[in-house]
Amino acid sequence: MTEETNNVAKSELMSKGVALEKGVEITEKSNIDSLSSRGYGTIENNSLILAFYEALYLLDKRILEVNSKKGDALDFQTILRCYDKINENAWINYLVYRDLRSRGYVVRGGFGAGIDFRIYERGSYGKNVASTLILITQEGKPIAVDYLTSIIKRCQSQKKELALAVMNRRGEIVYYSVSKLTFTKQS
């Protein structure tokens, strides 16, 4: 592939967005269709709104360019700072999102009650519901048993698996399947 052909191919794949308080807005129809069919963003008023973790991922993959409302180009660090303003765990959430996407999963935002993400098995996005819900935490950061129990009950009531994504001290992400809590009486 010549350099000119390579540049044309890159420009066809490149999406352009504008940073908002809650994410990044894409308005070009072909980009909306392309990205939403691959499990990115939420369509609102003829625009695609990417969550900040999605925008960071696409920015890192050089699939997205982000500008301010004034038209200034924004880099990865600037978008990360915007995300950090609304989520104190922005960096960790992005790293987990990136890891899951790199494993071939379509990753969508959680739907509250402590669930950070929901993931779709390879090839099932748009055909089936998410099979697994992800709860993110950091090694050494305690999780209250009552909190974890309520999340597990919610997952079980929806017939979903719960995976605990734990960022360890070395920056690695370890996933644990959480199926049930069993308490035994200590004598």
Residue 119, token pair as written in the block: 């993931």
Tell me which residue has tokens 């191919």. Answer: 9
pLDDT at 182: 58
Rounded CA-CA distance 97/53 in Å is 7
* Burial bucket for residue 109 (CB in 10 Å: 0-12, 13-18, 19+): middle
- Alpha-carbon distance values, 69 to 4, 31, 42, 74, 154 (Å): 30, 19, 20, 10, 40
Question: For 55-70, how does the pLDDT look when each residue is reduced to its tens digit (9 = 90+)?
Answer: 999 999 999 999 999 9
Residue 122, token pair as written in the block: 């390879």
Closest CA to 120 of 137, 134, 101, 107: 107
Chain centroid offset of residue 137 CA: 15
pLDDT at 93: 94
pLDDT at 2: 43
Spans of the chain below 70 pLDDT: 1-13, 180-187
Rounded CA-CA distance 155/2 in Å is 51
pLDDT at 13: 61
Q: Which residues pair with 167 in a beta bridge?
A: 138, 173
Domains contained in the chain, CATH given: 3-86 (3.40.1170.20), 90-178 (3.40.1350.10)
pLDDT at 127: 83
